[in-house]
Amino acid sequence: MANGIAQYIASWSNPASLDSTSVRFDHVANDKLRIFFRFSDTTSGTTVRGTNYVLSPPTSNSITAYTMRTYTAGASSVFSGRLSNDFRLNYSSNEVAQRNLFDAFGGSTPIDLVQLAGFDKGSAVYVQLLFGGYLVDLSQSQTAGAQRQWNLVDSVSVSRGRHQLKFGVDYRRLAPFDVPINPQVLYRYTSQTAVKTNSGALVIAVAHAPAYPLYTNFSAFVQDQWRVSQRLSLSLGLRWEVNPPPGVTQGLNAYTVQGSSPDTLALAPQGTPLWRTTWYNFAPRLGAAYVVRNAPGRETVVRGGGGVFFDTGQQLGSVGFDPGPGFRIFKISRGSFPGSVVIPTIVNPPVSYSFAYGFAPICNCHTRCTGMPVSSRHSESPRLLRSPISVHTRRDCYSKIRFSPPTTQTQVSLS
């Protein structure tokens, strides 16, 4: 084509693999105690060649590898005909590594953009050609992360007449970590002339800091399976949820804000909790089943239920770590590839000047300001009201100031 971008028509496969292995050991200690241990190992991988998302050329390969391992131990005890106990302890790890690179395809010669730009392997380099009605994205990067979780569940079951009672506790500890691409440099050319002369490229340099958030969740519950009559059964339950704000296993915690209005908001001191722990998250549940007709072969049962469910806030709470203040900053300049690029330095505590819609712009005299999401420390855990007819109503509790809370996207102020 006259703009220097040519079409390429070919066919290829994008291979994927999945392998899973598990082993379980069971032991009957006596008539009243049974124990077990289970281990599973699951590995999977995908290789996706460019054009998967229109921007990349066919020579671009995205290789992703996953490794998930679980270790579960449990014990079931029967103390009497009416009293029993179930205990479970689990540790799980889920690791992911991803590489974007170029290989020889269709007679092409592979290149190493990171090496050409003079960066280390943990860096990412992007070259974008944005002109002539096309956007071609040449990218090379390498990143990794993992999720590690402990989960303990213990429940006691008691049978009394028409009631089947269950009491229990559930504790969860999640320690994910992210080793981000650092630095990340993008060169954007907006004309064919700029490509030929290798000049005037828009250069965006981004610095990232690793994040090591730590989440803990605790809940206690009681449940009653009540057979009211031959036709009617009720399931009653109450769950107490405690979801404190995240901490860290190492490094910096995410920032929150303080102030009474958008004009007076400022970053709170490092270590200030992202949100306040709510100690009164009691979630009642109710379910019912009624046998309308019990004729053999023509049974009809009507079931319904409803309850309150609390979100842990982990997903959006993690946004405070990346791209939150203190974890990412970028600088925009003009230059050429590879050229000399000044990587901005992340400063802690960050320098901020205003906040709007939950974003904290981070800037200094040499760096272009960038919006960063933060959480209001007045946020609380959201709750979901679920009705028997599947009409869902989401209600989030947080202050009147509209910041991005560590909740779902539905925002209803209760204050």
Whether 190 is in a domain gets the answer no
**Number of structural domains found in the chain:** 1
Q: Contacts for 220-225 with beta carbons within 8 Å, 24 or more apart?
A: 220/167, 220/168, 220/169, 220/170, 221/166, 221/167, 221/168, 221/169, 221/170, 222/165, 222/166, 222/167, 223/165, 223/166, 223/167, 223/285, 224/163, 224/164, 224/165, 224/166, 225/163, 225/164, 225/165, 225/166
Residue 223 resides in a domain: yes
* Domain assignment of residue 284, yes or no: yes
pLDDT at 391 over 80: no
Domain that holds residue 101: 16-113+137-178+210-316+344-395
> What's the pLDDT band for 53 if we cut at 50, 70, 90?
low
Q: Which of 170, 137, 320, 164 is nearest to 240 (CA)?
A: 170
Q: Which residue has the tokens 């908001």?
A: 265
How high is the pLDDT of residue 17?
A: 95
Sign of the CA dihedral running 400, 404, 405, 411: positive
pLDDT digits (tens, 9 = 90+) for 158-211: 999 999 999 999 999 999 988 788 888 888 888 888 888 888 788 888 888 888
Looking at residue 406, what is its pLDDT? 36
Judged against a pLDDT cut of 80, whether residue 79 lies above it is answered with yes
In contact, 33 and 76? CB cutoff 8 Å: yes
With respect to residue 370, please indicate whether it lies within any of the assigned structural domains.
Answer: yes
pLDDT tier, 366 (very low <50, low <70, confident <90, very high otherwise)? very low
Q: Is 369 within a domain?
A: yes
Rounded mean pLDDT, 121-145: 83
Asked, for residue 321, whether it belongs to a domain, the answer is: no
Dump pLDDT digits (tens) for 335-365: 888 877 888 888 877 764 333 333 333 333 3
Residue 109 lies in a domain: yes
H-helix segments, 184-260: 192-197
Q: What pLDDT does residue 293 have?
A: 83
Torsion of CA 54, 56, 60, 62, to 10 degrees: -70
What per-residue confidence (pLDDT) applies to 273? 85
Structure confidence by residue, pLDDT tens digits, 257-308: 777 777 777 778 887 888 888 898 999 999 998 888 888 878 788 888 888 8
Closest CA to 179 of 119, 274, 114, 251: 251
Q: Would you say residue 128 lies in a domain?
A: no
Q: What is the mean pLDDT of the chain?
A: 79
